[in-house]
Amino acid sequence: MSEPTPVLRVTTENGSVYDFSEGLWQVRRSAGSESVGLRRDGEWVECVGCEVAIGYPLVIYLKLVDGAMTCRRASKIVSIEGIN
């Protein structure tokens, strides 16, 4: 399977940076605190939904490897930018 191309970058107030693939189907944390329990930085995970708006917490709904679902809430979003 080929590596997804990031098209959207979201930065939160605690300095974490999240990249989303086209269609927002996959997400990875590309920089941030190791205390945040999403995954190792750079590892893509399946995103089944998200709430992305400046000034509000980033909310990501994820499908785990075993098929279970989880919701992750990050700090408030300070910037959203298109990339590539």
pLDDT value for 40:
54
Q: Percent of the chain, pLDDT > 70?
A: 86
**What pLDDT sits at residue 10?**
95
Band (pLDDT 50/70/90 cuts) for residue 33 is: low
Task: State the pTM of this model.
Answer: 0.82
Which among 2, 4, 13, 21 is positioned nearest to 82, based on CA atoms?
21
DSSP code, position 78: E
Average pLDDT across the chain, whole number: 86
Q: Show me where the domains of the chain are located.
A: 6-82
Helix (H, G, I), strand (E, B) or coil at 40: coil
Give 30's pLDDT tier (boundaries 50, 70, 90): confident
3-state SS assignment for residue 83:
coil
Q: What are phi and psi of 5, to 5 degrees?
A: -95, 120
Whether the Cβ atoms of residue 3 and residue 19 lie closer than 8 Å to each other = no
